[in-house]
Structure 1
Amino acid sequence: MQLIRVFSVLSLAAGGLACGPLHAHDAEHEVVARDTLKIAPGPSDTQIQFAPVPSIVDPAPIDPTLGYFVGDLGGGVHWVTEGAYSNMFLVSTHGVIVVDAPPTIGRKLLYAIGNTTHLPVTHLVYSHFHADHIGGASLFNASHPTIIAHAETLSLLSSLSPRDPLRPLPHVTFQGNYTLRVGNQTLELSYHGPNHAPGNLFMYAPAQRVALLIDVVFPGWAPFSELGISTFIPGWTAAHDVLLTFDFDVFVAGHVSRLGTKDDVLLQKKYIEDMHDSCAAAINGGFDVSAAIGPTIAANPGNTWAEFKAYLRVAAQTCADNTTSRWLGVLGAVDVFAFESAYRMIESLRVESDVLGPFGVS
């Protein structure tokens, strides 16, 4: 049975799924024009005028000559950013602990450390296995640091064939919690299940009240595409609450050129809750399904994948539009990846949280 028939039967039985129905022509035009997962050509992002970013984004003052910024967080803790990525390092009495090595910062990280201390890098901690955060790890090969990561990170890096020489395998791994002590510095590492990626760590410097969590909260900004390209959205969402249990003043987020605070975590948490509810509402009757997918069915007879993609695209666009209308000017760039993140949330609700709308138990 074609999807249009399924939706029609459900609409009649429930008194109609529509809530603010879309006309078929208008819905398809909107999807093609704004959906970056296109099945038909649309305008490129270079032709789109996005909303101005609000002052909350508050970027660090990066010296154009150096190309990076180093911030002193006190007690030997420093963070580094080149504008898009960030990481941190801790200077102890016995050596330097580096957390992550983003390749976009690259050798600038060596300069930042070298201009701060003459002590060698003795330890390198991987937040998780993604190359955009640890792809510069081989730059520290000369100092032979002890590399520490969660066991999942070792497993995933080991599974690569061929192995990536730019991401040396960790020497020390753990499952739950690990306390790293080097000289007078302490860094607490903990794992609370998969979120952005399996093995993604929470890190905390208790003496300086500094936390680090990568690819979950984007201070001042809406999350990157597809909710930070996260693999397990329920765990990613829950990570906000886990982070709030730490007694920190600032945290390093891994992206954007500013630090975060607990207020930033709470603000993004509200944004994600709003997107969650908006996407659930879209699935549960937020648009006229028959009208939305009718043109695709007519143009692609017998192509179930095309029919279902049309449904997912309109559901995601409905959620994205509703969420964006409430958050423009509150967080930076909420309109840039609104569709991609809503699409990811729609899929998460369907397969990870059992919010199935017209595809529930019949």
Structure 2
Amino acid sequence: VNMLNKSSLNSKVLQSGSVFLVILLATSLLSTSYIQNSKALVQEDHEDYGYLKFASYAVKQAYAAKQNNTVNSTIHIPAIAMGPQIPAKGYLVQEIRDHLYWVTDGAYNTMFLVSNQGVIVVDAPFTIGKNYLKAIAEVTKEPVKIVIYSHAHMDHIGAASMFPANATYIAQQETATILKDHNDTSVPAPTVTFSTSYAVRLGNQTLVLDYKGVNHERGNIFIYAPTQRVLMLVDVVFPGWVPFRDLAIAEDVPGFIKAHEQALSYPFDTLVAGHLTRLGTRQDVVTQMEFVKDLKSSAINATKMFANFTKIAEQVGGFSNPWLVFKTHDDDVANQCTQTMLAKWNNRLGGANQYMSSHCAKMAESLRVD
């Protein structure tokens, strides 16, 4: 087990850009590959659910390619996006503080808390899989007693069946409803649910669970370790990187934006964000909040620039095809917003060039309908 400290993070830098760029490519191709492969891989009829499962599969393939030295990248990755070296065994486990550990494979990450009466685990990412059990076994012989679901997306909880069947499974009520609606028996159903807040206590350790409304997804919760001053919030903040496409496929963009301020209301020092190369800090939340506010401003300004639909119609031959008029408008807005944002952010956060256009389109759409 590697103890977490600044020197180890600075001295052991993962040149993870090439890996993540393969992940970006793999997930961008899912619209085609999903149709061809999802039935065999996930046995799931619901398209969004299957997409997330298949995305996890794509990440595993990307890392296999990296290990086989078949991945090369010359695209610049900002230093802020770099993380610790991932050992050859495929995962890294480090103590954050006071028996709270994080586990990462360089693309997904999560955390577990060791008490004197057992282990509390959060999530069960597909890509980490049974390496999660190995990571726990490296630091304690205590059994897993409690499993917490951050939200319902399968890429984060899809491997939960590896935990003991007699463990207590905890989720927010919305998450429990989603899982019930999907009827996915591969994931243990929550045995304890809550509405707004729930304190998880096991022996000498405590985690506080809060639901503050829809952000990334209905039921996505804030998980706070008060003794350790660690906050876990999944699929909202991406330390050192721009979010995954479409503002991390946010179900509610205003709620996604608000979640940044809600996160900063906790007195945390360390953030476990669920994805990518490293742990986060308060400054990472502040930086992404600045990014999102800048994105909103850029989308507003771009929308104002292309507000004359009559002029757009003249460019495309009239209003006979209204979808062509709207599509041209939407593309013009997204392109203008993208140019503005890349000039400011391409060298500040990783992945900006890959996903900025989707973020601009998502924000412009939210400004129109939310």
Identity %: 42
Q: Residue 314 of structure 1 aligns with which residue?
A: 332
Note the C-alpha offset of 1:143. 4.7
Q: What secondary structure sits across from 1:336 in the alignment?
A: helix
Residues 135-284 of structure 1: pairs in structure 2 closer than 5 A: 135-140=158-163, 142-160=164-182, 163-284=183-304
Distance 2:198 2:264 in 1: 19
- Which residue is equivalent to 1:53? 77
Q: Match of 1:92?
A: 115
Matched residue of 2:215: which SS?
Answer: coil
Runs of 4+ in 1 over 6 A off after TM superposition: none
Matches of 1:148 and 1:217, distance apart in 2:
23
Instruction: Output the CA distance in 2 between the equivalents of 1:251 and 1:297.
Output: 52
Q: Distance in 1 between matches of 2:313 and 2:345?
A: 28
Question: Does residue 119 in structure 1 map to residue 137 in structure 2?
Answer: no
Instruction: Please report the RMSD computed on the Cα atoms of aligned residues, expressed in angstroms.
Output: 1.9
Q: Tell me by how many angstroms 1:291 deviates.
A: 5.9
Shift of 1:168: 1.8
The gaps in structure 2 that reach 5 residues or longer are 1-27, 30-72
Q: Which blocks of at least 5 consecutive residues in structure 1 are unaligned? A: 1-35, 38-48, 353-362
Give 1:116 deviation, angstroms. 1.4
| Contact 1:324–1:338 (Cα < 8 Å) also in 2 | yes
Distance in 2, matches of 1:128 and 1:260, equals 19
Whole-Å separation in 2 of the counterparts to 1:297 and 1:59: 51
Contact preservation (8 Å) 2:171, 2:192 = yes
Q: So what's the TM-score if we normalise by structure 2?
A: 0.77
Shift of 1:50: 8.2
> What SS is found at the alignment partner of 2:353?
coil
Aligned residue pairs total: 300
Q: Which of 108-117 and 195-204 deviates more?
A: 108-117
Secondary structure, counterpart of 1:197 in structure 2? coil
Q: What is the CA–CA distance in structure 2 between the aligned matches of 1:287 and 1:84, rounded to whole Å? A: 40
> What is the CA distance between 1:165 and its match in structure 2?
2.0
In terms of Rg, which structure is larger? 1
